A = this chain, B = another copy of it.
Amino acid sequence: MLTEYKSRFHEHVKHLQEQITQELLRLDPDLKMTEDIWQRNDHAGQPGGGGITRAFEGAIIENAGVNTSLVFGKIDPKFSAQLPGQGDELWAAGISLIIHPRNPRVPTTHANFRMIQHGDKYWFGGGADLTPFYPHEEDFVHFHQTWKKFCEPFECYEKMKKTCDDYFTNLHRTIDGVAEMRGIGGTFFDHYNSGNLENDFQLVTEISKAFIPSYFPIAAKRWNEEYTAADEDFQLHRRGRYVEFNLLHDRGTLFGLKTNGRIDSILISLPARCKFTYRYQPKEAAHLKMLTYYFPKDWV
């Protein structure tokens, strides 16, 4: 039975990949897409699955990646020891995506959904978070409300919202002892297994459908909004913080690096351009306000 759900989950994420691709192309009709179908070897050097990477570059979407993968086979025993379950055989399928729009009035976003089996254990994980650079508070409310709506049948929004706030945090960047988030949160869960496979499968596949309505209406509303050089400078600086999170803390990146993933597909999450500035301090009110939003806050 598990085998059937694994196969259905893989189909689900490929379908979602195609839907999100279509949304991106609708938003940015001149967007250039590069599709790479890749394969990998497992830790023993045997064929271990692969994936479909779609990389995007354009005028409205500066860069984006919408990837799916299905990997299996032996993993490094040292990594195996850190996972629930026995043995050194892993199976994992998922979708992972990141969108870095050019206009700083449009938020960056990320989502992923995955199913993992390690020996006798399996679990689901994933979520989505929003990284805005301009205080369009109504957009943040829309994002969170949409996720809340899709989570409602499963009564999982509160918990997933808190997990997201805790997780997408630059633990090395603190202000008055409180660590700064990379954005304004969203929903996240990991190692999810209630014991009822059918229910868990429903939960993950249903809430993953929140991504398109949570994000694309914001992008459609904002992509053509006028912005200033100061807006862009702030965006590039916050993208720098995004890079810090992804390379220092992100479990997905680490998972990819430890399971001999395809480097270009893993690091597609990094923004096309970014800035790092010693003791960066924004000057404008809008950006100073944004700095107060990168901490846990109730948006619904």
Contacts and interface: CB of A to CB of B under 8 A. Distances in A.
A279 B268 CA distance: 9
Interface string A166-193: 0000001100000000000000000000
Contacts of A55: 278-279
A89 interface: no
Nearest to A249: B247
Contacts of A264: 278-279
B279 A267 contact: no
Nearest to A256: B172
Nearest to A266: B172
A270 interface: yes
Contact of A275 (B34, B240, B273): B273
Given A272-B277, A273-B275, A274-B274, A247 B243 contact: yes
Contact of A240 (B34, B257, B270): B270
Interface in A42-56: 55
A127 interface: no
Contacts of A244: 247, 267
Contact of A278 (B65, B243, B279): B65
Contacts of A275: 272-273
Q: What are the 8 closest A-B residue pairs judged by CB atoms, nearest first?
A: A247-B247, A270-B276, A55-B278, A264-B279, A247-B248, A268-B278, A273-B275, A172-B257
Contact of A263 (B172, B272, B277): B172
A259 to B, nearest CB: 12
Contacts of A101: none
Interface string A250-272: 00000001000001100110111
Given A172-B257, A247-B247, A274-B274, A34 B263 contact: no
Nearest to A277: B272
B247 A173 contact: no
5 contacts: A55-B278, A240-B270, A264-B278, A272-B276, A274-B276
Contacts of A271: 276
A278 B57 contact: yes
A96 interface: no
Nearest to A170: B263
